[in-house]
Amino acid sequence: MDQGKISAGQLTLLIMSFTIGSWVVLPTGIQAWQNLWLIMFMGLGTGLLFAYLSLFLFRRFPGKTLFEIHERVYGPVLGKFISLCFLWFFLQTGGGTLAIFKTLLRSTVFTATPDLAILVPLILILVYGCRRGIEVIARSNQLLIMSTVGLVLVSILLVVNIFNPENLLPFFNLPFSEVIWTSISLAVFPFGQNVLFMMILPRVNRWQKVNGAVLKGMIGAGLVLSTIQFLAVGVLGKSGQILVFPTYEFYRMINIAQFLTRLELIPLLNFLTMGFIKTILCLYALAVGTAQVFNLRTYRPLALPFGLFLLLVAERIFPSISEHMRYLEEVQTFFGLIFSLLLPMMTLGIALLRGLPRRRMAP
Partner 1 sequence: MILLVVGVFLLLFLWEAPGLVAKEYWRELAVFTILLLIGLVFSLLLVGGVELPYIESFWIKVFAKVGKALTPGS
Partner 2 sequence: MFDFLRRKLRLAHLRKGKPAPRTHRDLSPDLKTNLTAIRRELGASPDLIIRCLKLGSGAEGTGALLFIDGLIDQQVVNRDVIFPLLNGVKRGKFQDGDDLLKYLAQNVLAVGEVKKEPQFGPVVEALLEGETILLLDGHDEALLLSTKGWEKRAINEPDAERIILGPHDGFTENLRTNTAMLRRKITDPGLHFEEMKLGRRTRTGVVIAYLKGVVNEKLVEEVRARLKRVNLDMVLDANYLNEFISDAPLSLFPTVTFTERPDVVAAKLLEGRVAIFVDGTPVVNTVPALFVESFQSPDDYNFPFYYATFIRWFRYLSFFLGVLSPALFVALATYHQELIPTSLLITINAATEGTPFPLAVEMVMMGAVFEIIREAGIRLARPVGQTISIVGALVIGEAAVTAGLVGAPTIIVTATTAITTFVVPDLLGPGIYLRLIYTILAGVLGAYGILIGLLFTLLHLVSLRSFGTPYLSPLAPISAGDFKDVIVRAPIWALGTRPRMIGWPRPQRQPIGFPPSGDEGEEGEAEDDG
Q: Which residues bind partner 1 (CB under 8 A)?
A: 92, 95-96, 290-291, 294-298, 301-302, 304-306, 308-309, 312-313, 315-319, 323-324, 326-327, 330-331, 334-335
Check: CB of residue 326 under 8 Å from CB of residue 36.
no
DSSP string computed for 184-212:
HHHHHTTGGGGGGGGGTGGGBS-GGGHHH
d(Cα 21, Cα 25) in Å, to the nearest integer? Answer: 8
- CB nearer to partner 1: give 95 or 217: 95
Of residues 177 and 295, the one with the C-beta less far from partner 1: 295
Q: How far is the CB of 86 from partner 1 (least distance, A)?
A: 16
How many whole angstroms separate alpha carbon 362 and alpha carbon 141? 30
- Residue 304 Cβ vs partner 1, minimum distance, rounded to whole Å: 6
Smallest separation (angstroms) from partner 1 to the CB of 42 = 24
Q: Which is nearer to partner 1, 95 or 234 (CB)?
A: 95
- Among partner 2, partner 1, none, the one that 122 touches (CB under a kind-dependent 5 to 8 A) is partner 2
Nearer to partner 1, 29 or 234 (CB): 29
Pair 60, 356: CB distance under 8 Å:
yes
DSSP secondary structure letter of residue 242: G
Residue 335 binding: pick among partner 2, partner 1, none (C-beta 5-8 Å cut-off by kind):
partner 1
Task: Give the nearest distance from C-beta 71 to partner 1 in angstroms.
Answer: 17
Task: Choose from partner 2, partner 1, none: what does 324 bind? Cβ within 5-8 Å by kind.
Answer: partner 1
Measured from the CB of residue 116, what is the shortest distance to partner 1 in angstroms? 11
- Residues in CB range of 335: below 8 A, 6 or more apart: none
Selection from partner 2, partner 1, none that 322 binds (CB < 5 to 8 A by kind) is: none
- Name which of partner 1, partner 2, none residue 113 binds, using a CB cut-off of 5 to 8 Å depending on partner kind: partner 2
260 neighbors 254 (Cβ within 8 angstroms): yes
Q: Which residues contact 189 (CB under 8 A, 6 or more apart)?
A: 23, 28, 328, 332, 333, 336
136 binds, among partner 1, partner 2, none (CB under 5 to 8 A by kind): partner 2
What are the φ and ψ backbone dihedral angles of 245, each rounded to 5 degrees?
Answer: -115, 75
Smallest distance from partner 1 to CB 340, Å: 16
Angle, helix 115-132 to helix 134-158, in steps of 10 degrees = 130
CA angle 298, 343, 285 (to 5 degrees): 25
Q: Which is nearer to partner 1, 165 or 319 (CB)?
A: 319
Q: What is the contact surface with partner 2 in residues (CB under 8 A)?
A: 7, 9-10, 105, 109-110, 113, 117-118, 121-122, 125, 128-129, 132-133, 135-136, 138-140, 142-144, 259, 262-263, 265, 269, 272-273, 276
Nearest CB to partner 2, comparing residues 254 and 328 = 254
Binding partner of 298, given partner 2, partner 1, none, CB within 5-8 angstroms per partner class: partner 1
Q: What number of other Cβ atoms are within 10 A of residue 18's Cβ?
A: 31
Could you give the 3-state DSSP secondary structure of residue 96? helix
Decide which of partner 1, partner 2, none touches 116; Cβ closer than 5 to 8 Å per partner kind: none
SS3 state at 260: strand
* Peptide bond between residue 170 and the one before it cis (omega within 30 degrees of 0): yes
For 205-342, where are the E strands, in sequence order?
255-256, 260-261
